[in-house]
Chain A
Amino acid sequence: MSGPAAVEFDHVSKTFGNRKVLDDVSFKISEGEALCIMGRSGTGKSTTLRLMIGLLEPDSGRVCIGSEDIVNASEKDLSRVRRHMGFLFQSAALLDSFTLGDNLALPLRRLDKSKSPAEITQAVDETLERVGLDMDKAKMPSELSGGMRKRAGLARALVLQPKLLLVDEPSSGLDRITASEIDDLLLKVKKEYRATLVIVTHDVRGARKVGDRIAVLDQGCLIGLGTAAELDKSDHEIVRRLVSES
């Protein structure tokens, strides 16, 4: 992929206690690209996403969203950058004391002050319809099934019409059919919003279906980056085993 970079990691390292989770990781993701990040558990995949949205700060290196370095950015600058980002958490992370509708309205109220209450309601309704939850607006998160929660989390991530969508384990805890439906939704989002997608996943089938490229992390290091076909021919055995469909 070429074109302007939507995300750039430049020699990023991150340590928790004595454990080095990311070790001098560098890569670029082009605008409109879908990059799937794979790797064994605890290899820094989710940490990578959290660094991208500024929930964590690296010990060293630069994290750029568009042309903006978000490391040490002020809350105001970070808020402006986040206005164009969406994050689907592994557990969906819906606020359990809010209805589904209120969960979706929250980002609009907080990050898009230009919208009137009527416009917010309209945006919420349209986004819920897009993920097939238009009949569930008044429900509480506890009333939703696992797949519905994922779609609701995706709806909240989409309500701001983000240019960059970060997705943490979209298929975890879901059956194969529901996981495939979520993958289809992500592809639809990529096409309709022309959004850049960064997806952390263990699901090889989903990664090959949605991702333009796949990045493989192991023990905090980037050991593979390329299309699925390229990684199939990798010299690194872990890379081949992780991206293999069999």
Chain B
Amino acid sequence: MGRFLTFIGEVSWFGLKALVVAFWPPFEWEFFMIQIEEIGWRSLPLILAAGLALGVVLSMHTRGTLVQFGAEALIPSLQSASFFNELGPLITALLVAGRVGAGIGAGIANMRVTEQIDALESLSVDSFKMLVVTRIVACILILPMLTLFMDFASMAGGFLAECFASHISLQLYLDRAFKTMEWANFIPPTLKTSVFGFIIATVSGYFGYTTDEGSKGVQSAATNSVVLSSLLIILADVVLVKAIFFLFPRNAV
């Protein structure tokens, strides 16, 4: 237990330090843009494909149940509420943790093992800022955007499934989907993914940056990054949902 608490303390300090250092010049714009491309742009196909498929599947599942009660008109609003409130943010974060978290952990650990970090330091480059801070800031900014893509891809999937099943028009589907939606249902859950992004990049960066076990450390960094960041995302989600309900009580109804 003591070791676990020490570890949590170290990771927290690592993340806080990154947030503070992020505002100190010089800014690593070039490497930040590389991370935006790597984390955001290259994750997009996975996010869109997963969103579309999940949208179709959720629509098919809910139709089976709601038809029995003659409530199939609720499918679009159920779909939008599910994805915009919870499924979109959480699934996006878990997918990014798998794709990007492992990459960050293994990538930085490999740089440590092959002396690339020492080489940067010998050139007076702040390796922490260049390798860790840029990834953390990129993840914080990119996660909400990827979540939006996931949300809308799932709505598209849901519409396709409904269109095949009931020949519903796009206009009517969107009308039903967003009739009961408010900004408070949409903005806080989307923005909470910034916290997930922070968790993914901080945990993965920590495992990669602090490795000292040679090539075995690269493997451990990749595995630990995914496992721990996924676990922390789920735990943080519980806390954040409670906080959103507290700040926006109508969301809880």
Which of A79, A89, A94, A95 is close to B124, meaning CB atoms less than 8 Å apart?
A: A79
* A135 adjacent to chain B (CB < 8 Å): no
Report B41 CB to chain A, min CB distance, Å.
15
* A19 adjacent to chain B (CB < 8 Å): no
What size tier do the contact residues of chain A reach?
20 to 34
Q: Select the residue from B115, B118, B120, B122 with max chain A CB neighbours within 10 A.
A: B122
* A62 adjacent to chain B (CB < 8 Å): no
Which parts of B85-127 form the interface with A (CB within 8 Å)?
A: 110-111, 114-116, 118-125
Question: What number of residue pairs across chains A and B have CB atoms under 8 A from each other?
Answer: 45
* A82 adjacent to chain B (CB < 8 Å): yes
* A53 adjacent to chain B (CB < 8 Å): yes
* A90 adjacent to chain B (CB < 8 Å): yes
Which parts of B19-35 form the interface with A (CB within 8 Å)?
A: 34
**Complex contacts, B115 vs chain A, CB 8 Å:** 89-91, 93
* A177 adjacent to chain B (CB < 8 Å): no
What size tier do the contact residues of chain B reach?
10 to 19
Digitize B123-138: 1 where CB-to-A-CB distance is under 8 Å, 0 elsewhere.
Answer: 1110000000000000
Report B216 CB to chain A, min CB distance, Å.
17
Which parts of A96-143 form the interface with B (CB within 8 Å)?
A: 96-97, 106-107, 110-111
Which of B114, B124, B125 is close to A91, meaning CB atoms less than 8 Å apart?
A: B114
Report A112 CB to chain B, min CB distance, Å.
11
Cβ of A95 and Cβ of B122 under 8 Å apart? no
Cβ of B124 and Cβ of A93 under 8 Å apart? no
* A78 adjacent to chain B (CB < 8 Å): yes
The CA of A111 and the CA of B123, in the complex, are separated in Å by 7
Cβ of B116 and Cβ of A55 under 8 Å apart? no
Report B206 CB to chain A, min CB distance, Å.
20
Cβ of A96 and Cβ of B124 under 8 Å apart? no
- Measured CB to CB, the residues of A under 8 A from B are 50, 53, 55, 75, 78-79, 82, 85, 87, 89-91, 93-97, 106-107, 110-111, 156
- Sample (28) of A-B pairs whose CB atoms are under 8 Å apart: A53-B122, A55-B118, A75-B124, A79-B124, A82-B123, A82-B124, A87-B119, A87-B122, A89-B118, A89-B119, A90-B115, A91-B115, A93-B114, A93-B115, A93-B116, A93-B118, A93-B119, A95-B116, A95-B119, A95-B120, A96-B110, A96-B114, A96-B116, A97-B34, A106-B125, A110-B125, A111-B123, A111-B124
